[in-house]
Structure 1
Amino acid sequence: MTKTAKLFTNGGSQAVRLPKEFRFEGEEVLVRRLGKGVVLEPIEARTWPKGYWANMPHLEEQDWSRPEDAIPPPIEDERDLP
């Protein structure tokens, strides 16, 4: 299905008003270029696969929660050492 969407300016940014049939859930989408076009994709929730914890009865999900903004420490390369 192809429809036309309206472009407008919001603050200093260009925005697109999507037709109802193309609405996304949530407040953000991923944006990438594809040739001369732009692709919008929903952001998938960062959760464990359905049924994962049912197969791990001795563990609880909070034992394996992911830190939101964790940045791994830099890896020192032996070649960089004096």
Structure 2
Amino acid sequence: MPLEYRFPESVREVFIRRDGESVVLTPRPSDWSGFFASGMKASTDFMADIERMPIQERSF
């Protein structure tokens, strides 16, 4: 890989995905702090239409 496209040495793992005919590499975050700091939240109706299944009785 050309030097100008390499990740810094601090990046130990990457995610690999296909976007059409392209292959995209993105650094794998070392923690979730960036995600939580982004302010992304689920909508108020998230999973509102999900049917709750009854609790299954089990013997151990």
TM-score bracket, normalised by the shorter chain, equals: 0.3 to 0.5
TM-score (norm 2): 0.46
Q: TM-score, normalised by structure 1?
A: 0.36
> In proportion to residue count, which structure has more strand?
1
Larger Rg: 1
